[in-house]
């Protein structure tokens, strides 16, 4: 028997959940204190008691059509050490609407001493429950624009892999998209079990942790969903002519408005000024060229519309937190 009481983890299950994260969270915490010990032929000491809870204890239909069985009814959960909300794998608005009855239970459990954590779009559940108002949070970069529109009171830091804030009782953690869940999981395991156990889990699961932020993964083309056709026209012109010298005054004249008006409309629709959009498009193209393979920094700089290598390198690192060489080493298709 273990010499300690395992921490209680409740994973919230709901129709439309991303099955890989639901099952992955169950595995990650369930095998803490187990896998490493089996490898070394030591006594197994599970550090977490993990259960999936759904409304009414009903079966969960994941977004990949896998059906998973819940361990318990969330209405009967009165306390836990950690409440985890996995990724929404289906339409966010549809899932929130169909699972609106979960909101009151998230609010109820937030008023205990439980830590609360969300992965990726799971942060929309926490925001819907009002648990992130005035707090720092993150989500997948692809949902950042929608999140800011839907929940303007949340301090969204979309470039961060993991954020932490406090409520009056415990801590609220948010992880960004996809595999950022593992960064969150290791952080939480370290919080409850210490650095040594967290390192054991990272080694047994072969997890490369502490990757910093999402900057190097973002795609500028996702800034397009808006209804302002004039701004879209300018965006498309920039994307087709980014190699050429560009002035905001010329772009404004092209669509018969003043530079000030163009700046204002860009800020409203794209959350950046035209000059920032030009830089973002050029950085995006530079990332693609680096991903394709071998390219010199001089050639790269010229191909994306810059003539000053040092200025381009500074802009690239500011945008991705990596130098062009570091980005190439990390993402090039030719990298081994």
Query: How do residues 237-296 score in pLDDT, each as one tens digit?
Result: 998 898 899 999 999 999 999 999 999 999 888 888 999 999 988 998 888 888 777 788
Last residue of a domain, one of 168, 188, 214: 214
> What is the secondary structure of 32-70 as a DSSP string?
TTTHHHHHTT------EEEEEEEGGG--EE-TTS-EE--
Residues 203 and 245 placed together within one structural domain of the fold: no
Do residues 90 and 229 share a domain? no
φ/ψ of residue 192, rounded to 5: -90, -35
On whether the CB atoms of residues 197 and 37 are closer than 8 A, the answer is no
Give the chain's largest Cα–Cα span: 76
Q: Which pLDDT belongs to residue 224? A: 59
Helix axes 259-270, 274-292, angle to 10 degrees: 60
**Which token pair is 100?**
């609106």
Burial 92-128 (b: 16+ CB within 10 A, else e): beebbeebeebbebbeebbeeebbbbbbbbbbbbbbb
- The pLDDT, as a whole number, for residue 215 is 62
Q: What is residue 1's predicted lDDT score, i.e. its pLDDT?
A: 37
Report pTM. Answer: 0.70
Do the domain assignments include residue 263?
yes
Q: Which domain holds residue 325?
A: 219-331
Residues 189 and 244 in one domain: no
Domain boundary among 184, 214, 244: 214
**Domain-embedded: residue 210:** yes
Give yes or no: residues 275 and 249 share one domain: yes
Contact (Cβ atoms closer than 8 angstroms) between residue 137 and residue 157: yes
* 152 and 13 together in one domain: yes
CATH of the domain at 75: 3.40.50.880
42 C-beta neighbours (distance < 10 Å), count: 10
Same domain, 173 and 271: no
267 three-class SS? helix
DSSP state of 216: G
Q: Is residue 202 domain-shared with residue 102, that is, in the same domain?
A: yes
Q: Are residues 202 and 250 in the same domain?
A: no
Please give the pLDDT value at position 284: 85
Residues 193 and 234 in one domain: no
CATH (domain of 279) = 1.10.10.60
pLDDT in tens, 144-157: 999 999 999 999 98
Residue 96 pLDDT exceeds 90:
yes
Mean pLDDT of the chain: 87
Residue 1 in any domain: the answer is no
Q: Is residue 2 part of a domain?
A: no
Res. 207 pLDDT band, cuts 50 70 90: confident
| Residues β-bridged to residue 277 | none
């Amino acid at each position: 028997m273990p010499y300690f009481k395992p921490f209680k983890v409740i994973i919230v299950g709901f129709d439309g959940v991303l099955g890989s994260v639901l099952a992955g969270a169950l595995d990650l915490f369930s095998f803490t204190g187990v896998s490493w010990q089996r490898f070394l032929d030591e006594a197994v000491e599970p550090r977490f008691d993990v259960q999936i809870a759904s409304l009414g204890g009903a079966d969960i239909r994941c977004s990949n059509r896998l059906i998973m069985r819940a361990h318990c009814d969330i209405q009967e959960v009165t306390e836990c050490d950690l409440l985890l909300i996995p990724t929404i794998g289906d339409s966010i608005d549809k899932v929130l609407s169909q699972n609106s009855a979960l909101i009151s239970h998230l609010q109820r459990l937030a008023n205990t001493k439980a830590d609360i954590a969300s992965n990726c779009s799971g942060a929309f559940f926490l925001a819907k429950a009002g648990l992130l108002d005035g707090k720092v949070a993150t989500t997948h970069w692809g949902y950042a624009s929608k999140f800011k529109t839907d929940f303007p009171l949340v301090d969204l830091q979309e470039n961060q892999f993991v954020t932490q804030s406090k409520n009056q009782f415990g801590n609220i953690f948010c992880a960004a998209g996809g595999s950022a869940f593992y960064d969150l999981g290791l952080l939480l395991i370290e919080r409850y079990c210490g650095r040594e156990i967290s390192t054991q889990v990272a080694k047994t699961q072969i997890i490369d942790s502490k990757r910093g932020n999402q900057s190097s993964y973002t795609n500028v083309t996702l800034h397009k969903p808006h209804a302002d056709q004039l701004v879209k026209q300018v965006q498309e012109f920039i994307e087709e002519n980014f190699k050429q010298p560009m002035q905001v005054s010329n772009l404004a004249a092209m669509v018969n408005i003043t530079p000030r008006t163009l700046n204002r409309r860009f800020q409203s629709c794209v959350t950046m000024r035209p000059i920032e959009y030009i830089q973002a498009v050029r950085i995006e193209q530079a990332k693609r060229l680096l991903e394709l393979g071998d390219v010199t920094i001089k050639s790269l700089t010229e191909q994306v519309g810059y003539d000053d290598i040092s200025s381009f390198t500074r802009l690239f690192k500011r945008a991705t937190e990596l130098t062009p060489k570091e980005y190439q080493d990390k993402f090039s298709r030719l990298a081994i």
